[in-house]
Amino acid sequence: MAFILKHKLTIIGVFVGAIAGYLYYYFYGCENGCTISSSPVNSTLYGSLMGGLLVNIFKK
């Protein structure tokens, strides 16, 4: 529980990024030739990674 409280902003960033990654796949994804947006799993994982990193920029 202490881990969750300590890293709650990062966890929120990961979830928001995952949702944004899936929405990117759903609306803009391509069928062939795209590495990230050709699969909903790849797009969601990439979005969650970017969301977590983006939130960690602002932590001290």
Q: What is the pLDDT of residue 41?
A: 94
Q: Copy the structure tokens of residue 57.
A: 């920029």
Range of the domain at 52: 2-57
Q: Is the separation of the CB atoms in 28 and 2 below 8 Å?
A: no
Global confidence as pTM: 0.86
Q: What is the pLDDT of residue 29?
A: 85
Could you list the mean pLDDT of each consecutive 10-residue stretch along the chain, which spans 60 residues?
91 96 91 83 96 91
Query: Quick check: helix, strand or coil at residue 53?
Result: helix
Q: Is the separation of the CB atoms in 56 and 33 below 8 Å?
A: no
Phi, psi of 22, rounded to the nearest 5 degrees: -70, -40
Total number of domains in the chain: 1
